[in-house]
Amino acid sequence: MFKKFKLEEYLARYEFSAPYLMCSSDPQTMLMKDVLALASTQEKEMWDNLSLSYTTPEGHPLLREAIATQMYQGLDKDQILCFAGAEEGIFCTLFGVVEPSDHLIVITPCYQSLLELPKAKGCSITTIDLQESNNWQLDLNAIKAAIKPNTKWLVMNFPHNPTGQVIAPNDLTELVQILDKHGIWLFCDEVYRLMGASDTVWADPVACVYPKALSLGVMSKSFGMAGLRIGWIACQDKSMLKKLEHVKYYTSICNSAPSEIISLITLRQKDIILSRINETVNHNLQCIDAFMKTHAEHFSWVRSKGGCIGLVHYKKSELVDDFCHRLVQTEGVLLMPGSIFDMKSNHFRIGFGRQNFPEVLDKLKVFLK
């Protein structure tokens, strides 16, 4: 029923065997002891006396409160529903809540489940490709042209995987006007929000500006804690969250108790943790800037603005899949060819959130010589 998940299979094959990861979408993570060192006395007590029984299906109230206050200005804890990672939030919405009679517009390339799950449900889908010639920006006219009488959802992802581009605040305002006119729901995967280049101008989360919008967030990306498997959806409409909760009863039921507490500690220290991650990301972006200048005959890119990923054009006649294969075989450096995102062009995804990125970039330079 579900198509092979190319990206996750690619990572499963290489992520724990290739010594140098240069395509990861999660940044430098933290050790448990370092997170616990940030905990207040009250949080340490919560951790030490944590009962390992079932947790509340919606997510710990203090966690939801921290998510709402730290990430979604104007929303409260009852407008947040927690999930096991972002993937469960995608599943519950785009497989659980969508109806086979719905038409969806999906912005591509994209993280595969955003497209494949509604397809598997039997929905009709119009995809709209982001174009490099348009700096991978949203084409609002193409969206208007794709709307049909039964269009129920627009599905997009900003900051965007794999291009690292963000949605401009003006584009979001205009998009919301278009969707509102037609009563269309907006599902925006915002898992990379607030991580990225220091000069990025951030649009608001969609859930803060449109009542029919779902903002997807997670601990995995901007906070570097994928092993927690804590994600969430923010939405002003509580009846939509109720529908999602009913689907969650068929998947994880509730969240991991220890992960909720670690997420709570982290989110309350959001600014400290984000600034550490963004320091690494911005240092690495500068390394890429210098690399692009000296290797302009090989590569070009639209500089990434959000997340710790970007899409690089390999300008040589060799297929990028072959290039990536040779690189991992000889230097142990893993890139991700665009074919993993069903792209026909000669691009690869680069990931630059890890502290060893400069060292890995040196390996790529040696390989190119």
Ligand X SMILES: Cc1ncc(COP(=O)(O)O)c(C=O)c1O
Binding site for ligand X (CB under 6 A): 25, 85-87, 111, 157, 161, 189, 191, 218, 220, 226, 231
Structure tokens at 235: 């939405």
H helix and E strand count, the chain: 14, 13
Helix axes 257-268, 41-48, angle to 10 degrees: 170
For ligand X, give the closer residue by CB, 226 or 320.
Answer: 226
Which residue number is nearest to ligand X in terms of Cβ? 85
For ligand X, give the closer residue by CB, 102 or 189.
Answer: 189
For ligand X, give the closer residue by CB, 229 or 363.
Answer: 229
Tokens 């009962």 belong to which residue? 51
Q: How far is the CB of 18 from ligand X (least distance, A)?
A: 17
Helix axes 6-14, 112-121, angle to 10 degrees: 130
Distance of CA 185 to the CA centre of its chain: 19
For ligand X, give the closer residue by CB, 206 or 291.
Answer: 206
Distance, in Å, from the CA atom of 169 to the CA atom of 174, rounded to the nearest integer, reads 9
Q: How far is the CB of 80 from ligand X (least distance, A)?
A: 16
Q: How far is the CB of 359 from ligand X (least distance, A)?
A: 23
For ligand X, give the closer residue by CB, 192 or 299.
Answer: 192
For ligand X, give the closer residue by CB, 25 or 278.
Answer: 25
Helix (H) or strand (E) holding 332: none
Tokens 């911005």 belong to which residue? 282
Question: What residues have CB less than 8 Å from 289, skipping those under 6 apart?
Answer: 303
For ligand X, give the closer residue by CB, 112 or 151.
Answer: 112
Q: How far is the CB of 84 from ligand X (least distance, A)?
A: 8
Q: How far is the CB of 25 from ligand X (least distance, A)?
A: 5
Distance, in Å, from the CA atom of 43 to the CA atom of 27, rounded to the nearest integer, reads 25
- 189: nearest Cα among 171, 173, 174, 207: 207
For ligand X, give the closer residue by CB, 35 or 225.
Answer: 225
Residue 312 in contact with residue 347, Cβ under 8 Å? yes
61-to-64, 79, 236, 239, 261 alpha-carbon distances in Å: 5, 11, 17, 18, 11
Q: How far is the CB of 87 from ligand X (least distance, A)?
A: 4
To the nearest 10°, report the CA torsion of 11, 224, 71, 177: -30
Q: How far is the CB of 138 from ligand X (least distance, A)?
A: 15
Residue 298 in contact with residue 362, Cβ under 8 Å? no
Q: How far is the CB of 213 from ligand X (least distance, A)?
A: 16
